[in-house]
Amino acid sequence: MSRESQSQQILRALQRGRKLTCLDILRDFHCMSGKQRIHELRKVHRIEDEWIETEGGARVKRWFIPLEKGQLRLIA
């Protein structure tokens, strides 16, 4: 049985509509190089980003895959 790579796990989460920060990627996928995984995925997939402010006032980047007009999100 093959194990999904960290990049595949991150991509699947983005395709399901999740918006991920580096901290989300570290916590949920045990990946310390989330920014690098996103960089690799962006070579093939349309991944956008936005700056958000945390409760503590820090500004961090959050990545997501935008929905195209008429497109439905995968939920399985």
pLDDT along the chain (76 residues), means of 10: 83 96 97 96 97 96 87 58
Pairwise CA distance, residues 4 & 71, whole Å: 25
- Please count the structural domains in the chain: 1
Q: Measured between alpha carbons, how far is residue 51 from residues 2, 3, 8, 37, 64 in Å?
A: 35, 32, 24, 18, 11
| Residue 74 is assigned to a structural domain of this protein | no
Q: What is the pLDDT of residue 2?
A: 54
The pTM of the full predicted model, rounded to 2 decimals, is 0.83
| Residue 71 is assigned to a structural domain of this protein | no
Q: What is the pLDDT of residue 54?
A: 93
| Residue 38 is assigned to a structural domain of this protein | yes
| Residue 51 is assigned to a structural domain of this protein | yes
Q: What is the pLDDT of residue 20?
A: 98
Q: Give the residue ranges of DSSP H helices in 30-72.
A: 34-42
| Residue 75 is assigned to a structural domain of this protein | no
Q: What is the pLDDT of residue 1?
A: 44
Q: What is the pLDDT of residue 74?
A: 57
Pairwise CA distance, residues 6 & 15, whole Å: 14
